[in-house]
Chains A and B, each alone.
Chain A
Amino acid sequence: MGVVTRKKLLSIIALGAMVVALLLPIVMALPSPATGEEVPVAEGAQKEGEKVEKARDVYYKTEGIVVGAPAPKTTDGPADYPRYNFESRVLLWFANQQHLYYGSFVLAVPIFCMIIEFMGVVTKDKALAKRYDQLAYDFIKISLTAYSLTAILGGILIFTFLTLYPTFFSYLSSIFRPVMHIYALMFVAESGTLYIYYYGWDKMKEGFLKWIHLSMSVILNVIGTLLMFLANSWIGFMMSPAGVDEQGRYLGNIWHVIHTALWNPLNLHRILGNMAFGGGVVAAYAAYKFLAAKTDEERAHYDWMGYIAMALGVAFLIPLPFAGYWLMREVYAYRQQMGITLMGGLLAWLFIIQATMIGILFLSTNYYLWQAMGRMRGAEKYQRYIKYLVFLLACGFMVFITPHTMVMTPAELKAMGGQQHPVLGNYGVMSAKNGGINVIITTTVLSFVWYMRGNKVSTVSWARFGNIFMGVFFACAYINIIFLAIYGYYIPANVRVGLSVPQVATTLSCLFFMFTLNSMMMKGAKQMGPIEWGKISARSQYALIMLATAFTWMMGLMGYIRSSVRLFWHVNEIMRDNSPWAYTHTVGFAANVISANVLFFWISILFVFWLGSLTAKKAPVESKVGVPGAIPQPAGSH
């Protein structure tokens, strides 16, 4: 009893320490360094009888006291742009991208751990709870090695900035000095929390202590998310600066510098993107282990792990296009030129590639779900309808990837009679594309619903009515989405932009209402047979690997697009890039660098997985094995 109490006490102290660690940087930031600096400067100036210089914020249009130096006007030379005999921008690109990949992974995986650990805690089935707990532990184990790599890559990134872009980095750090220190402190808090969370797993595995442990994961994720928000403020500032005047002089309000026009949309988009990416990587890990498995038991475990990771990833993938839409809308609202450069001008072709990748993600997900139906008896009844889902997905996909500016030879241009094709030109604009992606997402939801009821027959008295209602609901959803996509051509642009709201609402209604209704219908349903974990085609696992690769490639692509849209500015309209590399790369070159980044990431993450497997070999056998005969039922699906 005494031991348990001591354990409890220690756990509570550890939890309290984490909360303090979390709050410490915030508390330190309370007497704002901005204010702290503002006052001495003003007082100092008054003392010397000098006039306090005021200037107008470029974004907020408020007046503030100038406390910073103007943005440096760089020149191409060793002082501002020291270099190796290689393009510095590509080196920085590589360092940045790798750090981002690992950063995203280590931010996403603890969130998964938190969800899965919570599922384990609340699940009544003890065997299943144990498996969930083991799964969460497996996840965090992988994340731990990746965490060290993230820190190393962060160091490499800073050194690359300091050595290749010293003037720019010096300006950025002069603006973000307090934020950077808070960031560093939070990183310390994150590390401490993560290590206690990981190493305390076994000691806090039951009862009250387990809840303390779970609370630690919440704190861990809050810290991680705040870290990301702070890092986002730097890129937000580079794209849409605020808190400085036209010369780039800091005006003393740190919140304005952080809270730029694009900060919030970037935060949301990155959270969702990281989660989807993390899910994809873990699913690919499970797929690899499944394909390499030698026993049925291993296959069953990794099949289940892949499914859970995929389901979590896709849960965040579904709202991702909408978050992206919001981000683009804010970009247009901030600077029309930026929006047009992105979606209609110089970078438009990269957006077509992005659309293709998004399509691949959804197609892979659907394909995996259809394959997964193969491990359930009773799901055969849906197989014959899959071709119609393929048709809907393919039509949505084709509309979604149709380019606005088509690549063609002069002969084709003449044969077509102009730059715009009368049929396909309509697919090349936003109204049609919104329709296309919503059809794809709704179809994905439909596939999920079929999967969830694959081996079940509803026994509720209103089952027939429920089925008809669901069918009609989906049919109406498709009709509404397509109707709005067509109607968009006949109304003013500002109203058309607003049409995306009912389209998204329709898709999300399908998601929430149909999932809820389906769950109600399937409560106490008659099982046609168990889910035979591990009895799934190898193709499904390749689909998971495809999903993860597409995520990785798309992240690289979108990062490049977001960064390139600044064109020849380090900080948009404030600090010009005068290096020899202030031009936009060709699509082909960019694609090659992105591919190289993806390849490097996957090779290095394989190393991380291998390291993880070394520890796994030492793990006690009992923790790896589920209760014989007990078939786990993934939460959220059955």
Chain B
Amino acid sequence: MKALMSLGALVGIVGLLLLAGMIFDIIPSNTIRLVEGYMPMQMLFEVGCYVLGFTGLSYMLNAMGMGIPRFWQGIGFWIFFLLYIKYRVYPPIPFSVRAMYGTVGLVAVLMWVSANEEDWKKFKQPILNVLDAQTGFNKVLRYVYLIALPILTWGFSYNVMMPKSEEPIELRTVHPAPPASTKVHGKTYVLQTSLNPYRVNPEGKYDQEYSNSLIVEQGMGRLMKPNANPWDEKAEGYLKYVREGGEIFFQNCHFCHGDNLNGRGLHAFAFNPIPANFTDPGTIAQLQETFIFWRVAKGGMGLPNEGFPWASVMPPWEQHLTVDEMWKVILFEYWHTGYYPRTWD
């Protein structure tokens, strides 16, 4: 048990040192890389390791008679968590999300320190000591709080009320609800039921399973499946159309959406917001192909009311591409990112 706790303590100390290095910019955040494809679980795993590490550290310090009071354990862990989400995770997390996580962290800490009566007493004790002010130090501290708390409240209020010149925050609806049908080049497409006509097997029959089996692998590398190279001259059916879609993509779309379809094309950073990142699981992976077809055809100008503030410079591609070309380019986007379009069966 002791050996296990010692190991935990070691993990805790190393973790804290690494985090301190990142906070003071001695160690770049990406020294320990968040590995693409595994980042969300890695983040949770790291926080879990810290929790176990701190448990070991606390155990060892108690054994040495240097235990940290429950009050400071609680406060310390919360501060650690705030620093972790600010300095460890990159790219930086927006403040609104950090505020949400920070609140959950605070609630979790309070639940932990008040889960039983004994712990709660220990946690409250330093606060009560200051309020009771039985010692000189606590008396001074009480006066400091008496003066500092109103000043802090005033400063906070001032900061909130002071007019700012920053651009206002907008609750942008990234994926507004599509219409039931859309008319492109004179033909009406029902979004719920229309299918990509190029998702076909070598015999030319619509085959979702066949095309799904040939897309690239997700995660690191995005490797092509064996014998599924669209640039093979013998490629037929789905793969042939993927190649044609790829050509259209690199002639028209990659300037904004990027070579890797991650929204970082040559012109991407001239726009605000930058173009959609198709490799993110929250974009095309969540949508039907017909949704993408509608967005490609109608562009930013065709966004419905719900798409406020219509922050999109996407051209209405129906003015530049044929219907077939648009379906093929969509085929390519799914193939390249390794995502399957949403279906409802």
Residue numbers of A with Cβ under 8 A of B are: 332-333, 335-341, 344-346, 348-349, 356, 359, 363, 366-367, 370-371, 373-374, 380, 383, 386-388, 390-391, 393-395, 397-399, 401-429, 431-432, 482, 486, 489-494, 537, 539, 587
Contacts and interface: CB of A to CB of B under 8 A. Distances in A.
Contacts of A409: 94-95, 166-167, 169
B286 A493 contact: yes
A393 B39 contact: no
Interface string B196-221: 00000000000010001000001000
8 contacts: A341-B306, A366-B111, A399-B44, A415-B91, A418-B264, A425-B282, A492-B343, A493-B285
B43 to A, nearest CB: 6
Nearest to A346: B306
A283 B341 CA distance: 46
B39 A426 contact: yes
B51 interface: yes
B173 A345 contact: yes
A341 B345 CA distance: 20
Contacts of B107: 363, 394
B167 A410 contact: yes
Interface in B31-46: 34, 36, 39-41, 43-44
Contact of B288 (A336, A417, A426): A336
A496 B112 CA distance: 35
A383 B115 contact: yes
Interface stretch (B177-185, B233-241, B319-327): B177-185
B95 A427 contact: no
A423 B111 contact: no
Given A412-B92, A425-B280, 11 more contacts: A336-B178, A380-B116, A395-B44, A410-B272, A419-B276, A423-B34, A424-B89, A490-B218, A492-B343, A493-B341, A539-B114
Given A398-B104, A489-B218, A428 B89 contact: no
A604 B285 CA distance: 48
Nearest to B55: A387
Among all A-B residue pairs, the 5 with the closest Cβ atoms: A492-B340, A408-B94, A420-B280, A493-B342, A394-B108
A510 B270 CA distance: 52
A420 B93 CA distance: 10
A124 to B, nearest CB: 34
A397 B117 CA distance: 25
A348 B173 contact: yes
B229 interface: no
A393 B43 CA distance: 16
B100 A414 contact: no
Given A337-B179, A422-B280, A412 B94 contact: yes
Contacts of A403: 97
A242 to B, nearest CB: 17
Interface residues of B, number: 75
Contacts of A349: 171
Interface in B255-310: 262-264, 269, 272-277, 280-283, 285-286, 288, 306
B274 A417 contact: yes
Nearest to A490: B218
A415 to B, nearest CB: 5
B108 A390 contact: yes
Given A346-B176, A419-B174, A332 B104 contact: no
A407 B169 CA distance: 7
Q: Give the interface centre of B93, B179, B275 by most chain A CB atoms within 10 Å.
A: B93
A413 B172 CA distance: 12
B178 A424 contact: no
A408 B95 contact: yes
A364 B72 CA distance: 24
B116 A370 contact: yes
A383 B264 CA distance: 50
Given A409-B169, A422-B280, A537-B117, A345 B191 contact: no
Contacts of A386: 112, 115-116
B94 A486 contact: no
A402 B283 CA distance: 16
A413 B275 CA distance: 12
A411 B119 CA distance: 42
A486 B44 CA distance: 13
Nearest to A401: B100
A371 B110 CA distance: 13
B142 interface: no
Nearest to A482: B41
B143 interface: no
A391 B108 contact: yes
A58 B218 CA distance: 41
A539 B120 CA distance: 10
B112 A412 contact: no
A340 B91 CA distance: 28
B112 A416 contact: no
A411 B96 CA distance: 13
